[in-house]
Amino acid sequence: MAFQALVFDVDGTLADTERDGHRPAFNAAFAQAGLDWHWRDEEYRELLAVAGGKERIRHFCEQHDPAFLARPDADEAIAALHVDKTRRYVAYAAAGGIGLRPGVARLVTQARAAGTRLAIATTTSPENVTALLDACFGPDATSWFEVIGAGDVVPRKKPAPDIYTWVVERLDLRPEECLAVEDSAVGLRAALAAGLPTVVTQNPYTASDDTTGALAVLGDLSTVTLSDLSTLHDTVHPGTQARPGPTS
Ligand code: XBP
Ligand code: MG
């Protein structure tokens, strides 16, 4: 096996969570707070350029409701909106509202059987990841992923490399010993900036994203095997070996 760990993005990669999961949860939180904001599908596609829910709300306010940001309690108000949004998203995911994208379950099963280590690098909140994994894979699933980097564990979200660097350090691997699976330009830039070879699996929101630098660009993972990924990885890092352990 040429690479040691598969590092998955979550939103748009493991599952199509955005249009019918995150977006309606944001909108319901806005309505609950008495705000007349409503993110329609097309607008949300553009808002996805900003990763992170709190950051996305702030960006929206800068463009459409600067008076909201001028409130002395703007930070707290955004945080409260995001808490409510997260509660709604978690309930939806936990109830089975979101399924895995094609090929994801098979690839994860293959990786586990082959002893390939699994990790997650996402900008979304940790509770969202747990709810999704539990609902889609079963109650043990979070333990399958050795490192889960999510949300605010790093100050700078994608496209900054920070979340990938955080995950790779905790795996105690070199970036080139990992393979990232991403869906978007924002995620691809983050993974590449951290030095991870990256495969892109696109979805309707990201189909026209810039994929420069990707090892491969796929419609989904339905026909991809672990062996295919290994071959792809080998094209850029032939014969990558595990780092020697500490000498005694
Ligand atoms: C996608 C995101 C996230 C979610 C919202 O993350 O940008 O911000 O849309 O999540 P990724 P929160 O593709 O890295 O998984 O509201 O919990 O921030
Ligand atoms: Mg994504």
Look at residue 189 and tell me if it is in a domain.
Answer: yes
Whether the CB of 21 sits within 6 Å of ligand 1: no
- Indicate whether 9 and 103 sit together in one domain: yes
- Indicate whether 207 and 131 sit together in one domain: yes
Tell me: the pLDDT tens digits for 59-89? 999 999 999 999 999 999 999 999 999 999 9
Provide the percentage of residues in the chain whose pLDDT is more than 70: 95
Residue 26: which domain range?
18-94
Q: Whose CA is nearest to atom 8 of ligand 1?
A: 52
Å from CA of 9 to ligand 2 middle: 5
**Is 11 annotated as catalytic?**
yes
Look at residue 144 and tell me if it is in a domain.
Answer: yes
Tell me: the pLDDT tens digits for 14-63? 999 999 999 999 999 999 999 999 999 999 999 999 999 999 999 999 99
- Indicate whether 78 and 107 sit together in one domain: no
* Structural domain count of the chain: 2
**pTM score, whole prediction:** 0.94
The pLDDT of residue 239 is 63
Q: Which CATH number do you get for residue 205?
A: 3.40.50.1000
* Pairing relationship of beta strands 216-218 and 147-149 according to DSSP bridges: unpaired
Taking the CA of 90 as reference, the closest ligand is 1
Cα dihedral 102→106→108→109 (10° resolution): 160
Answer left, alpha or beta for residue 174, where phi above 0 means left and psi between -120 and 50 means alpha: beta
- Indicate whether 129 and 153 sit together in one domain: yes
Whether the CB of 51 sits within 6 Å of ligand 1: yes
Tell me: the pLDDT tens digits for 110-135? 999 999 999 999 999 999 999 999 99
- Indicate whether 38 and 25 sit together in one domain: yes
Q: Is 180 helix (H, G, I), strand (E, B) or coil?
A: strand
Q: Whose CA is nearest to atom 7 of ligand 1?
A: 51
Does the CA dihedral 82-86-92-97 come out positive or negative?
positive
| DSSP conformation letters of 188-242 | HHHHHHTT--EEEE--TTTTTS--TT-SEEES-STT--HHHHHHHHHHHSTT--P
- Indicate whether 108 and 215 sit together in one domain: yes
Tell me: the pLDDT tens digits for 189-233? 999 999 999 999 999 999 999 999 999 999 999 999 999 999 999
Of 9, 16, 162, 183, catalytic? 9
Is residue 181 over pLDDT 50?
yes
User: Per DSSP, which regions of 49-177 are E strands?
Assistant: 117-121, 147-149
β-sheet bridge partners, residue 184? none
- Indicate whether 137 and 47 sit together in one domain: no
Q: Which CATH number do you get for residue 24?
A: 1.10.150.240
